[in-house]
Amino acid sequence: MTGSTPRAVNAIANANGTSAAVDGRTPATPAAEQHSPFRPIRIGPLNLRNRFIKSATNEGMARGGVPSKALVAHHRAMAAGGAAMTTVAYCAVSPDGRTFVDQVTLDEASLPHLRVLTDAVHREGAAACAQLTHGGAFNFLPSLSTGYPLSASGGFNAAGVISGRLFKTAMTPADLNRVAAEFVAAAKRAEACGFDAVELHMGHGYLLSQFLSPKYNHRRDGYGGDATLRARFPAQVLARVLDAVGNRLAVTCKIGVTEGFKGGATASDAVDVARVLERGGAHLLVLSGGMNVESPWTIFGSNMPAAAVEVMQNPVVKFATRLMRLWEPRVTFRPLYFLEHSRQVRKAVAMPLAYLGGATSLAGVEQLMQEGFDCVTMGRALLHDPQLVNRFADGSVLESGCTACNQCVPLMYSEGGTACVLRAPNDVQLNRMPAAG
Ligand SMILES: Cc1cc2nc3c(=O)[nH]c(=O)nc-3n(C[C@H](O)[C@H](O)[C@H](O)COP(=O)(O)O)c2cc1C
């Protein structure tokens, strides 16, 4: 799948570039065909067979950091179900960059396991993307190599109310250089084990979004200030990753279109960030929103169920989350809940954009295509039914059965890993078996 020429992960597109074989339905009009989500697309050096991307959803399938056979089966199912690309969630760029111990670190030891995964995805005709992440001050690790967790700025750590790490430290120029190099090394390892793309996680409150956020970034050294200056370090990471792998791998960035709380970054900030990343040569932006600590309901467009709190094992996390439930706003799920914010970014840049957030129906996806989004990224709808893209394509299903109950979220901490509660439970044994061997 790798090589300097555009990779044809599109096993199904026909010679004139339309996707008739994927899309069993005959488009009603040329205009409908022009906007069909089943058309192939090129993202940097990568050809995708259609516009559907499986969003990174922490799988809970790497106990002790070892990718399991369940992780492989999960992503194979997404690929077999018709998505053009499936994203392996939260691949930490270093041990300190993890949020939890049960997460993949993109180190040498992970490579044979991840190779099994990428091979399985490729056999189903899809592409595989590794989400490269550093958690910064948002982590629940028992130990770190630094005294305090790293972030854009030092001082009180809001995430520490949950994690117990009450202070964070501002990254020095040497830290910036080292962490950027860790992203590069992780991207090279992703390439070495067969990934077709890397997604730089710049959202949800992790390290790179701690730079983008006015709440977290108070620097006065050229890496802080307005949204454009706050984007300087994330853009440097992008530049270095592009230099290292960008001719062969698609390099995408997941950003927030709103942080979803007073004093957080807005859609107008997202526009500035998108312009910086467009100038920096990113191949695609995935438009998300919300922050893990301040506004998790914004990420999901709906609240966490009480059950999500009860399965938490860390008593501090459990206590803080219970407390948060007392004042969190009630958010009622609505399809395409980031559309108004994402439109502002769409208007501002010409580069490829992937919409994300409550894409649950074929009509909704078609609307996104009409509005000029290039791809759609889907999380819960594909957890509910990995075959959804195929079913959209053959017309047998027009609307996902996902109820946005968010009960899949606490299951990421369960023995079987992340799953939809409306489906059969995951095979716990499979999740105990290393992917390779
Ligand atoms: C169980 C679960 C785990 C998630 N883990 C991650 C993650 O590791 N990285 C990430 O960027 N987003 C994560 N997300 C957020 C999703 O990628 C996505 O932004 C969110 O679910 C909204 O999209 P949707 O409406 O299509 O589900 C997770 C979502 C769910 C449901």
Q: How far is the CA of 232 from the centre of ligand 1 (A)?
A: 25
**Residue 2: pLDDT over 60:** no
Q: Which residue has the higher pLDDT, 34 or 110?
A: 110
pLDDT grade for 18, boundaries at 50, 70 and 90: very low
Mean pLDDT across the stretch 322-338? 89
Question: Mutate which of 52, 53, 58 to test ligand 1's pocket (most atoms within 8 Å of Cβ)?
Answer: 58
pLDDT grade for 15, boundaries at 50, 70 and 90: very low
Q: How far is the CA of 54 from the centre of ligand 1 (A)?
A: 10
Name the residue among 220, 293, 284, 225 with its Cα closest to residue 252: 284
Atom of ligand 1 nearest to the CA of 402: 27
Closest residue by Cα to atom 1, ligand 1, is 409
**Residue 175: pLDDT over 90:** yes
Q: What three-state secondary structure class fits 229?
A: helix
Q: How far is the CA of 392 from the centre of ligand 1 (A)?
A: 21
Ligand 1 proximal residues by C-beta, below 6 Å: 55-58, 89-90, 131, 201, 204, 254, 288, 299-300, 356-359, 378-381, 408-409, 412, 418
Closest residue by Cα to atom 29, ligand 1, is 57
pLDDT 10s digits, 225-238:
999 999 999 999 99
At residue 33, the pLDDT reads: 84
**Residue 27: pLDDT over 90:** no
At residue 312, the pLDDT reads: 63
**CATH superfamily, with its number, for domain 7-432:** Aldolase class I (3.20.20.70)
Distance spanning both ends of the chain, measured CA to CA:
23
**Residue 3: pLDDT over 70:** no
Token readout for 378 is: 């889907």
Q: How far is the CA of 57 from the centre of ligand 1 (A)?
A: 4
Which residues in 129-162 are b (16+ Cβ under 10 Å) and which e?
bbbbbbbbbbbbbeeeeeebbbbbbbeebbbbbb
Mean pLDDT across the stretch 168-182? 98
Place of tokens 């120029």: 173
Mean pLDDT across the stretch 419-432? 95
pLDDT 10s digits, 49-108:
999 999 999 999 999 999 999 999 999 999 999 999 999 999 999 999 999 999 999 999
Closest residue by Cα to atom 10, ligand 1, is 56
Average pLDDT score, the chain = 91
pLDDT grade for 315, boundaries at 50, 70 and 90: low
At residue 410, the pLDDT reads: 86
* Pairing verdict, β 7-8 and 46-48: parallel
Mean pLDDT across the stretch 203-217? 98
**Residue 307: pLDDT over 80:** no
Query: Positive or negative, the Cα torsion across 25, 76, 209, 264?
Result: positive
At residue 314, the pLDDT reads: 59
Threshold 0.95, pTM exceeds:
no
pLDDT 10s digits, 124-174:
999 999 999 999 999 989 899 998 999 999 999 988 877 778 999 999 999
Atom of ligand 1 nearest to the CA of 409: 1
Name the residue among 337, 342, 382 with its Cα closest to residue 358: 337
* Pairing verdict, β 197-201 and 41-43: unpaired
Q: How far is the CA of 56 from the centre of ligand 1 (A)?
A: 6
**Residue 14: pLDDT over 90:** no
Known catalytic residue at 355: no
At residue 28, the pLDDT reads: 56
Mean pLDDT across the stretch 46-50? 98
Atom of ligand 1 nearest to the CA of 412: 1
Token readout for 386 is: 């990995």
Q: How far is the CA of 55 from the centre of ligand 1 (A)?
A: 6
Residue type, 271: V
Mean pLDDT across the stretch 262-278? 98
Closest residue by Cα to atom 4, ligand 1, is 57
Q: What three-state secondary structure class fits 398?
A: coil
Q: How many Cβ atoms are within 10 Å of 298's Cβ, its own excluded?
A: 26
Closest residue by Cα to atom 13, ligand 1, is 57
Token readout for 101 is: 């111990």
Closest residue by Cα to atom 30, ligand 1, is 57
Q: Which among 90, 206, 216, 223 is annotated as catalytic?
A: 206
Phi, psi (degrees; rounded to nearest 5) at 160: -70, -20
**Residue 16: pLDDT over 90:** no
**Residue 1: pLDDT over 70:** no
